[in-house]
Structure 1
Amino acid sequence: MAIVLIAEDEYLVRVGLRTCLDWERHGFILLDDAVNGEDAYQKILRHRPDILLLDIKMPRMDGFALLAKLREENIDVHVIILSGCDDFDSVRTALQYGVLDYINKLTVTSSELLRALNKVPSLPTAKPPRDEQQPAGVSPDAVFQKLLAGETCRQEELECLFPSGYVLCIFVAPRPDGTTVSSSLLASMSCQQLKNNNIDFIAQYGAGGMVVLLIPAGQDPMSCTATLYRQLHVTLDTMCAVGCSDLYCNPGEIYEKYTFARQIEELTYWGSAGGIRSYDGRLAPKADCSALVSSASKMIQNYIWLRDLYSTLHQIDVLAAALQEREDLTKDYFVHYMLSILALFPAKGMEKKFFTAQQQIVASVTWLNAKGALEAFAAQYFKENGFHSQKYSSIVSKAIMCVLDDPGHIVSLAEAAQRINVSESYLSQLFKRETGENYNSFVHRYKVNQAKEMLQSNMLIYEVCDKIGYENANYFAKLFRRYTGCTPNEYKKEAREAAKPPKP
């Protein structure tokens, strides 16, 4: 499906263009609209659309200036002009830039727009060509779809798929504002990335918005998974996870691999913590230790943020011991939960080591091996990212947890002291002595760190303040500047710039 971007500053025109066609039925995917030339340029860099519906008169950068910039930077996109300017000079200038068509937006009809869109040269398909020996009437896509639906396929149908290979599953979590990335856009972006790397594949949609890909044996699954994750992480404003199965030796195993990926998703760690996944169909989770693991996960996640190596390793030990006491828990399930703890560690910059740790945990012969692989990665993570090895007293630890366990509220020193039944002055002195910073400074630093993560999404500043417990946005902005050296708006802008892909 071709990806289309509408660049138009008039709201009613944008609404009209969006609603005049059943875009997906005609084979097109609409991106979010661009409201000016600069906005369109940034979205073109980020999403690489196939078709641009472009107005000429727009603020910040007009259509012709945008065309000149795209041509200067050799950015390939098919352009259809939709403008109220139909004078000869405008048409001539547009044609000089090689646009496909020039349409008056004030009188355009749906059929006229569709005819213009159909002038776009055939785009590369999202699937590899069928083998010439493939039985007539058998489509790899249809067979793959039947397998994902759990249907039985004949042997001659299975022969049109890769005889052995890997199942890649891609899942994107909803954005903080509740919006989601469409499966069709996710599939298109994933397929384009694989095509850019000359990797054969077959693509289909799975349950819950998941995109499922097959790649043949002979490819490096770790490289494919990491490449897809990096690209999607850069271009999408939300968390995503890309997982790769172990090798299937015949197409009949594909459904088993896919089913396991769905089970992982349903246990929430798949979608809630974005990253690179490695999973094995042997580990289908059955024993329910979700409450135990959820509680431990929350504590470990907080310790990771605190860069507290000792407490992280200690909590992993405590969790492992508690899981081993469960009579209904087999080693395979234990391995599964160790994988869920591993997923709490940010993989950025450590993708290969992260993937290796996943493989080591999956391949563990004993419970101890699985825990050891997790602890080894944790130690490596803290070694590369810095850590505090000091063990805090129970009072300071409780004070820290008071703050971390209540992310939507600012826990004052008085409130923390009351909760753990000590005096304010004693808690203040002890906290400073053990952590090296004042209690209030620690609270504000934690809140600013929360805000930095939220500001990288589409949340507005006042929404962030409300989410983390600050009622006065001006006061929060001053704190943010004190701890980061920039205002929330400046940070948000820098985060957007950093997320852009490099220029071609």
Structure 2
Amino acid sequence: MWNMLVVEDEPIVRIGLRYLVDWESYGVVWKAEASNGEEAWRIIEEEDIHIVMTDIRMPVMDGIQLTKKIKERGGEIQVVVISSYDDFPYVQEALRLGVTDYLHKPTMDKEEIVDMLKKALGNLERTQGSSTALSATTEKEKNEFLQALFTGTGDDGRLEQQYAAFGLPDLTEGVRPVGIRLSSGGREEEPEQGGSRFVAARYFIEKYVSHDWGGAVAVGERDELLWLAPAQARVGDRTWNEYLAELKKNLGNLLNVALVFSGGSLANDIPGLRKAYEELQREFGESEGQVGQAVRMAMDYVDLHFCEDVSLSSCAEFAHVSPAHLSRIFHKETGVNFSDYVIRKKMERAKELLRQTNLRIYEVAEKVGYAHSHYFSKLFKESVGQSPIDYRNGN
């Protein structure tokens, strides 16, 4: 049996975790609890602890400080951190320190915790060789398998037999490969910094999609995150396109980076999955050939914030270029002025609100970032060719 220490300053969270999972059925003993890192460290020095599940933000000694001490101590203790929406910088630091996994406090559920356990117990089994731990494939093995799957370097029959062993979604029900890349905005990054952003983004994306839609996330062979998405969502009734737009917006806000998505078609077998992967690679090539990274980042920023007071300066800051340079290359690479692009996005949203809601005209104007309805109506007519009222009435 493996001994677990839970470090969390909120008693209600500790109680919830304790009874959410039948820990002993997975070979884990709920050995001890602590309300801060200092208490936890005393327990670690006195007890034989194998897994530490710790909140990031706590009084006296936080989860990052505790993780540093555990790593400096050496040994094979598996550390899992618990984070909230606004803890991204701390999670980045935790990942850099080499934690096993993290749990997203607002959305974590039994399935997510069990997935974490499989990873931690698999690591313990490989390093300490106990039969009580769950067996699990390593991320390196999963990535190598996916590369063989998509590059056609293995026998298809054997690949199908191996497929289920890697915890991938059921092919017979339809699977869609989705590529996700981080845009650097054309700036050079230190390898360590770029790697840190990539790893952190991978963990956040994995947690979002595994909770909402399902599937598996791994690293593709061409510096992209590869998500194998089932045909149907785990929870909710959103369409595929709705969920992808929501995912891009939420992750863009959370990570403060631009994400480039490319999705292949649904596949039901290995040859079909390989063909869909080739489709998404072609789509990546086409999108990257049309505009540079700085412009893509600016467009992504507008897509996320166009209902606010978005400006050329704020987009330029996000893309790490000067406003004058962004203005020049934006028009050159897209064929439209930056301000016209923002207005177009606002008007597209306004049309949706006019047709799909009963909001008054001034309320629609406010929703898309205009304080004065008269000015909004003027821009709407110039852009759409009809007044907001005529458009709503279908004239």
Same fold? TM cut 0.5: no
TM (normalized to structure 1)?
0.34
Larger radius of gyration: 1
